[in-house]
Chains A and B, each alone.
Chain A
């Protein structure tokens, strides 16, 4: 639990988990092999993880405390930690997994949870509700389980008063507001805030800080994944791809006739 300041506010220790992903919009598929072309595609912090960083920073600014960012990957992933430092996090850690590519959510979460335990005390762990590339929403909940703390997922607003978090969750059919005392793990939606764009002064200030590196092998985690990816290919959909041209009236007329013939409208 956090320590108290002179003003009686509780200092809050926050850990944010960020994932570096390819900019999905820049990805293309090789039509021959149906596999992904990743050369020259930019990498960035997964969108919702940026919201997680922003929420952590705002909470700290209000309440005092510290924000630590953790990422996992090859050393290129430290670019996303630089971005997090520029935004204003106090410390950043890279869990260096070298060239291990086959890491599933299980190994990922186990490594992050082990790193969090090693780094020390925390009140809040904040993650994005899912990653924009895999969209499995598994790593956050798994870290909560490993740390033995409650999970409050899909939060679209969060406030902290002392050690009590009030979060509004975006569920399928309702918005649900819950109150819960720390420690806990939150996953946040894109809606929760607008992440800051670091000003040049912030970048200069952050340039003095460097990310610390933890070696995955040293965290005492079994690195064998449970889930194996057998293949990953662009799906093939057989479509007619018939262009209907002409004047607007002719186009709509022939389209409607065709759709009736296909049996998808009328009757």
Chain B
């Protein structure tokens, strides 16, 4: 194990994503024979250093500065670049959030390196000692395998593609707390309006009933909601419904610009299956498609294909489930 330099670092402003990054980070650090370090910048995570160590971190940097509050990326960029210039990590994995991607881009620019953004899988080429990562390209039509040949190799990681690291007993690690004098952001937050979140957690859903442009009007969403309710699942949708028509909120969007999901059952109703959508649900265990167009690309990605009108099939399916599952 090296004393410093060439370590694997992870960072996110979200605790759940740090847990996921630690899971993969541990594997990469062991493969490279280096340490796994986590960076804490956000005030809300200051007390989490020990829990990160229990979940596999060898070292946790805790940076304290009033400038680090807020959503703009500049102070966090300064903090990470300060640390990196002292310790020279070889890998930095960042949770792929809007803030995470902003920070990764700025850090990479200052450190003269690259970012592989929104990775869907990550592995180590032991011989080359390089990380190989897959990410969607051309709107999800292709999966691109990429590597970053400059150090640190920076990757932003799509939420929920890794397991969260589980806490283990007798884990030892070092916590380094540093006060940094960082320049605050030039901006002033004048208002924060929380989104009306229904609490739908698509990533965690076991069953998703998804709907696409086959839905003729907003009010009709009830027929898929009813099916989801009978199955104890959640409702998802394609990008036209969430982004163009705004019939459903972005929190229910599955696809390149929304959530990446892998439920046990994905029921696609009146959904054509554009590549952008498929990218978000490709890893579902079983896929059922109901579409009146036999040529719809969703059928290529489905286990069970029903060519028919969703307005007829979906209510009938709800009734059949209700009867057979006794609900």
Q: Which residues of A contact B (CB under 8 A)?
A: 22, 24-25, 27, 29, 35-36, 104-106, 109, 132-142, 144-146, 150-154, 166, 169, 171-181, 184, 190-191, 225-235, 237, 239-245, 248-249, 251-253, 255-260, 262-266
Inter-subunit contact B319/A252 (CB<8 Å): yes
Nearest chain A CB to B325 CB, angstrom units: 6
B51 at the interface (CB under 8 A from A): no
* B257 (CB) vs chain A CBs: closest residue: A135
CA distance A87 to B69 in the complex (A): 40
Inter-subunit contact B300/A25 (CB<8 Å): no
Inter-subunit contact A153/B102 (CB<8 Å): yes
Q: Which residues of B contact A (CB under 8 A)?
A: 71-74, 77, 97-99, 101-102, 104-106, 108-110, 112-118, 132, 135-139, 141-150, 185-195, 197, 207, 231, 243, 256-257, 264-265, 274-276, 282, 285-288, 299-308, 312-313, 316-317, 319-321, 324-325
Inter-subunit contact A132/B147 (CB<8 Å): no
Inter-subunit contact A233/B143 (CB<8 Å): yes
Inter-subunit contact B150/A226 (CB<8 Å): yes
Inter-subunit contact B324/A256 (CB<8 Å): yes
Main secondary structure of the interface of B (DSSP, over half): mixed
Contact of B276 among A24, A152, A263 (CB under 8 A): A24
Contact A264 to B72, CB < 8 A, known contacts A145-B105, A150-B187: no
CA distance A164 to B8 in the complex (A): 40
Task: Please give 16 more A-B residue pairs, beta carbons under 8 A apart, in addition to A137-B102, A179-B187.
Answer: A135-B118, A137-B101, A141-B106, A142-B105, A172-B97, A184-B186, A226-B108, A226-B112, A227-B148, A239-B303, A241-B299, A242-B303, A242-B304, A248-B308, A252-B320, A264-B265
Contact of A176 among B192, B231, B243, B304 (CB under 8 A): B192
Nearest chain A CB to B25 CB, angstrom units: 20
Inter-subunit contact A175/B192 (CB<8 Å): yes
Centre residue among A133, A135, A233, A248 by max chain B CB count within 10 A: A135
Contact A177 to B186, CB < 8 A, known contacts A151-B102, A226-B113: no
Enumerate 10 A-B pairs (CB-CB under 8 Å) in ascending A order: A133-B137, A137-B98, A137-B117, A138-B117, A140-B105, A150-B74, A177-B191, A180-B188, A240-B303, A255-B306
Nearest chain A CB to B246 CB, angstrom units: 9
Question: Given the complex, which residues of A lie within 8 Å of B137, measured CB to CB?
Answer: 133-134, 232
Contact of A234 among B141, B185, B190, B308 (CB under 8 A): B141
Inter-subunit contact B320/A253 (CB<8 Å): yes
Inter-subunit contact A176/B115 (CB<8 Å): no
* A189 (CB) vs chain B CBs: closest residue: B243
Nearest chain B CB to A155 CB, angstrom units: 11
Contact A242 to B106, CB < 8 A, known contacts A24-B139, A180-B186, A259-B288: no
Contact A239 to B300, CB < 8 A, known contacts A178-B188, A244-B306: yes
Inter-subunit contact A173/B147 (CB<8 Å): no
Question: Given the complex, which residues of B lie within 8 Å of A173, measured CB to CB?
Answer: 194-195, 197
Contact of B274 among A25, A109, A140, A260 (CB under 8 A): A25
Contact of B187 among A152, A174, A251 (CB under 8 A): A152
CA distance A181 to B186 in the complex (A): 8
Contact A36 to B141, CB < 8 A, known contacts A135-B257, A136-B118, A166-B190: yes
Inter-subunit contact A230/B132 (CB<8 Å): yes
CA distance A231 to B133 in the complex (A): 11
* B193 (CB) vs chain A CBs: closest residue: A175
Instruction: Please provide the 6 A-B residue pairs with the shortest distance between their CB atoms, ordered closest to farther.
Output: A226-B114, A141-B105, A136-B117, A180-B187, A145-B109, A227-B114
Inter-subunit contact B313/A251 (CB<8 Å): yes
Question: Given the complex, which residues of A lie within 8 Å of B187, measured CB to CB?
Answer: 150, 152, 178-180
Inter-subunit contact A244/B304 (CB<8 Å): yes
Question: Given the complex, which residues of A lie within 8 Å of B317, measured CB to CB?
Answer: 252, 255-256
* B110 (CB) vs chain A CBs: closest residue: A145
Inter-subunit contact B286/A262 (CB<8 Å): yes
